[in-house]
Amino acid sequence: MKRRTVVKGLIGLLAAPRIAFAQQKELVVAAFGGAYTDTVRKTIGAFESANGVKVSFVPASGADGLAKAMAKQVDVMHGDLAWAFRGVAQDAFEKLDPAIVTNLSALHPKARFSEYGVVTNFGEYGIAYDPSQVKGEPTSWLDLWKPEYKGAVSTTGYDAANIELIVLMAKLNGGNEDNIDPGFRKMAELGKQISVFYSQHPQLLDLFRTKEIVMARWLRGRVDWANKQGVALKFVAPKEGAIALVSTVHVVKGRPQTELAQKFVNHLLSADSQKLYAADLGYTPSRRGLDLAGIDVPYSDAMIDSLLMSDWAKIVPKMDAWKERWEKEVVAR
């Protein structure tokens, strides 16, 4: 009888961890891979302990991230404004609850672009240039159009930043999001200036290194990275404004851990998380009032206010048609 009691007790002890593990909650987060996810992981332990949850990250962005959200495979999705508004149009997200996401009140107004998502950090697309090859500091986006640099300037293919550039060129020539023809006409001129539309950051670095390119649309943080790689470049925010690179985050509708997902968004907006976006990634936090002493990133309301951010609610329904025009009118040239 005693032997049975002991054996029964051992079975109970062996089974207990399995039961506890089975009951542990999981939050699945679609996020930009690499350094971005590594940064978010740094503060995740405290969130997991406080909420009794295991956070799992799935590398995904853009179309892939939204596809996972629509398939209800993730609880939280990171994206940008283009995919944020596509997701809203497809009813993919829950509204953020200010009673849970209490850090919303600490953000710059531009970060609160929708009830269904929020900007966690801002970056700047401006002009990167080789000071040994370019006469004088560029001051305007239109410097990319200067004839003396034909064949030696570059930008990416059809992406959110170039959509912003199309809209800017439309506005500078009498158009807007609803009248985009002037923008495409101007971008078609730029297409004739470009020999290579770069697709990867290391590719553009090599083009600068070999002097094939002397000027390009690039990120402030990537120019700092290039300098660390031994390629001496400078960065300028054009007078028309730098183009905003934004990281957005959303709670996916129809998943079982909605409240935890809301708390996770709130965690990303906490002071500690926001400082890491600046310290580790070189991005400007969307939260106001942080002490960023010793961290070399632009950080002010004026800087965020100056960023170019178009009306993406108007753009998203037209993106596919605009992509066709981009390939025919700008790339094919």
Q: What's the confidence (pLDDT) of residue 5?
A: 45
- Alpha carbons within 13 angstroms on the beta-carbon side of residue 308 total 23
Q: What's the confidence (pLDDT) of residue 11?
A: 45
Q: Which residues of 215-235 are buried (b: 16+ CB within 10 A; e: fewer)?
A: bbbbbbbbbebbeeeebebeb
Full pLDDT tens readout for the chain, 333 residues: 444 444 444 444 444 444 444 457 999 999 998 889 999 999 999 999 999 999 999 999 888 999 999 999 999 999 999 999 999 999 999 999 999 999 999 999 999 999 999 999 999 999 999 999 999 999 999 999 999 999 999 999 999 999 999 999 999 999 999 999 999 999 999 999 999 999 999 999 999 999 999 999 999 989 999 999 999 999 999 999 999 999 999 999 999 999 999 999 999 999 999 999 999 998 999 999 999 999 999 999 999 999 999 999 999 999 999 999 999 999 986
- Beta strands 215-219 and 243-251 are unpaired
Let me know if 196 is exposed, middle or buried by CB neighbors in 10 A (0-12, 13-18, 19+).
Answer: middle
Query: What CATH architecture is 2-122+246-299?
Result: 3-Layer(aba) Sandwich (3.40)
Chain mean position to CA 164: 14
Q: What's the confidence (pLDDT) of residue 61?
A: 82
Residue ranges with strand state E in the chain: 25-31, 53-59, 76-79, 118-129, 153-154, 215-219, 234-236, 243-251, 284-285
Q: What's the confidence (pLDDT) of residue 23?
A: 59
Q: Name the residue ranges covered by the structural domains of the chain.
A: 2-122+246-299, 123-243+312-331
CATH dotted code for 123-243+312-331: 3.40.190.10
Q: What's the confidence (pLDDT) of residue 62?
A: 84
Q: Do domains 2-122+246-299 and 123-243+312-331 have the same CATH topology?
A: yes
Contact 118/274 with Cβ under 8 angstroms?
A: no
Q: What's the confidence (pLDDT) of residue 206?
A: 97
Q: What's the confidence (pLDDT) of residue 99?
A: 98
The pTM of the full predicted model, rounded to 2 decimals, is 0.86
Q: Across the strands, what pairs with 27?
A: 55
Q: What's the confidence (pLDDT) of residue 257?
A: 95
Amino acid at residue number 196: V
